[in-house]
Structure 1
Amino acid sequence: MNVRKLRLQRHWSQDQLAQLSGLSIRTIQRIERGQTPGLESLKSLAAVFDVPVETPPEEQDMTPEQPIDPVEQRTIEYVRDIKGFYSHAIKYVLVITMLFIINLATAPGYIWAWWPMLGWGIGVLFHGLNVFEVFNFFGPAWEKRQIEKRLGRKL
C-alpha cells in the first residue's frame, strides 16, 4: 500500500488523512517519506483506505519507493514547483505591502519601498518564467546535451 498515492488518488491533504485515520500529521509525513508504520497506524490507514491488512508491517511496502511512472513523477515535481512559485509570490506581496506601510508611516516624503519591490519583483518574475517554462533555456534538452557533452558522447 502506497499511502501517498492512495491519498492523492482521493484528493486528500495530509491533514485530512490525519483526521480520518486518527493519526498525527507528522506520522502521516513520516510514513510517506518511507518510515515503516506501526501495526496500529497500519490498521488505521488500512481502514481509511478500505484495504485489507494481510502482512506484518515489516513485510508490507508502504513507501513511495515503488516504481513511479516517469510522467507521474514529472507531474508531481511540476506541481511542487508551481506551489513553490505561488508561495514565493504570496510572500512577496505580503512583505512588500508591509514595507510600503512602514515607509508611509515613517517617511512619507520619500517612497523607498519601490526599490525592494523592483529588485524582489524581478526575482519573482524570473521564478514564474522558469516554473511555467515561458523561456525554457535550461530545460530537458539542454540537460541532455550537457550530460552527453560531459560524458564525451555525440548526440
Structure 2
Amino acid sequence: MQPYDVLVVDDSVFMRKIITDLISGDPALRVVGTAKNGKEAVELVKKLNPHAVTMDIEMPEMNGLDALRAIMNEHPVPVIMLSSLTQEGAAETIKALEWGAVDFVGKPSGSISLDLHKVKQLLLEKLHIAVKTNMRKLSRPAVSKPLLKAPEAGYATFRVK
C-alpha cells in the first residue's frame, strides 16, 4: 500500500525539519513537500494534491488561517493546525475549526518547540485520521449563522418564568 502524502507548512526551517522527521518515521505517511508560508501552501496543495496538511498559524506573507480559508475554498484537503497558538479554546483554534481544519495539535513550548517529540504520537494519530477524511462529504457553511435571531426593532420580547 502506498503511503499517504502530507504537506508540512511552517515558517521556521528548523520546525519544518523536525515535523518532517516525525512524520517520516511512520511508514504509512510520506512528506511530499514543505512550505514556508500560507501562500506557498495554497500553491503546493493544488500542485501536489496531498492527503493531509500540517499548518502553522503565525507565518509571514499569508498566515495559516488565511491559507486554510483559501485551501478550503479552492482545493479542500484535511488540515491539522500545528501551532503554539492552537491550544484548546483559543480563538484561533475555534476559527480554524470553523473554517475547515479537521483538528489541531499545540506545539508544547512555543513557536520553536525543541520538544515537539512530546506530541509526536498525538500528531501521528490525528494525521492517520485526517488522511482518511473525505472532505467532499463534510459540508461547511460559508458563513456562520447565529443559532438564535435577535428580536427585530419595534417588537417586545417576553420572558417566561
Q: TM-score, normalised by structure 1?
A: 0.22
Q: Answer with 1 or 2: which has the greater Rg.
A: 1
Choose between structure 1 and 2: higher strand proportion: 2
Structure-2-length-normalised TM-score? 0.21
Greater fraction helix: 1
